[in-house]
Structure 1
């Protein structure tokens, strides 16, 4: 069990999964449920924070909708396609891009406070000093990164002439790293510590030297056919931001992870993000995390 997750959070998630086993999947508008993409077995921890923020938004909006996982687990692109078609899903969360905002309806409040663009690397345990002498992009180009084939990050890295090896399976990327089919696996600072405690990462370590940064946001996305759902969640998130409950939930989940990452002690390599839509609310400073922020 990841150390950063409370027993209460796990009980809450298990309750959601139990409901999914006894209740057949129905449409949100005729069942009172809001269906989200189920994770593969063993990866449920990756959804806990997003689901907590989603539930908080529904509560703040006064919505009676209940969260329910999809009947089958879904990789990211399959979930987005199902959402676009308004078929078996009502909401998903993902890094934004021009293409995704054209296909889907985003709520432009970054539930990650932009931290999916703050990346440190997983490495093979016997290569912990691999990136010790990396100071700039040219140095980093000596090494290959692993990424999902449909992740926006892949295009961002390639846009800077960084070698990238891809896989269609999230889980297989860990095996590929252990087999040294690529050199490093850039992960968000708010997901890497939980991933490190998963059995598949037992031969991996966190790089202590480098921090990649590019501006991005993880949003809740909805079908363009269901704007009322997007508006409900947007209103709820705005209320949570205003009363401080959004920030309290964020810190509850990630304060320890951010302290462990020691961001200010790393060599920062800044990357452009050509996929970032112009509508991204970068001017709303309260929505974004910076390493110098005193709150953490």
Structure 2
């Protein structure tokens, strides 16, 4: 069938994931960043229409959709394996925030009434998503981790079946609001930290789109707009303030490629310099 002039071609449409519950703020920020990158490259590559898939999907399904043609661009924290299977744009999107983890705990848990030492924390039971890189990172360092689907993790903590739920520092506010009926709160004294950058991933069948996105993001980084957009976000300001004064336990991330380690040196985190 011949396309009418008003109909967009497949190359001018970009399909992205829909947002998952508890991720509204970060989702809107990343989509804004994506739109800015596309706008900056429109003179060379032409107009593009960004369309969200109809329903939210878990992370592993998003990667499957990237490979089977249902999605063109997605974003996630990275691992060596994910970079081997998909086209990655190694420009950090959230300034290292996914690497700062604070603990969601049950209200009134006396074990967290003061700073807990790292060896003692490892003896307690953490919950993490079964398909998250964080699960493997924590286990690598000797943590006891119970895998779960995201929506069930909060209930496991509320019921006392696990002891704490490490969350990215910017996620915990919306999650507490979403799960206000549960007896949960934020631990006050510590944070874990490991390099855990969030990157865009592009479908391998769309190399021109990957090239365009990398050019646009680099322009946003070089002119300072990426950093300005990030540091103006309410979730960023809340996260920065939540980290101040905490004891931070640094951990190595064994899942990163050498190329990603080099990218982390090039693209400095505004959050690290703010603490």
TM-score scaled by structure 1?
A: 0.82
More displaced stretch, 39-48 vs 224-233: 39-48
Give yes or no for the alignment of 1:139 onto 2:158: no
Equivalence for 1:5: none
Equivalence for 2:162: 182
Contact kept, 8 Å, 2:102 with 2:192, in 1: the verdict is yes
Contact kept, 8 Å, 2:37 with 2:216, in 1: the verdict is yes
Deviations 1:201-226 (A, max 9, x none): 65221111111011121000011221
Q: List gaps (5 residues or longer) in structure 2.
A: 1-7
- Structure 1 residue 45: Cα displacement: 3.9
Report the number of matched residues.
262
Matches within 5 A, 1:161-172: 161-167=142-148, 169-172=149-152
Aligned-partner SS, 1:220: strand
Matches within 5 A, 1:199-218: 199=179, 202-218=182-198
Aligned-partner SS, 2:82: helix
TM-score scaled by structure 2?
A: 0.88
> What is the alpha-carbon root mean square deviation over aligned residues?
2.1
Q: List gaps (5 residues or longer) in structure 1.
A: 1-27
**CA pair 131-232 structure 1, distance change in 2 beyond 3 A:** farther
Aligned-partner SS, 1:145: strand
Equivalence for 2:4: none
**CA pair 128-255 structure 1, distance change in 2 beyond 3 A:** farther
Aligned-partner SS, 2:238: helix
More displaced stretch, 55-64 vs 185-194: 55-64
CA distance in 1, matches of 2:168, 2:253: 15
Contact kept, 8 Å, 2:220 with 2:226, in 1: the verdict is yes
More displaced stretch, 38-47 vs 214-223: 38-47
**CA pair 212-230 structure 1, distance change in 2 beyond 3 A:** same
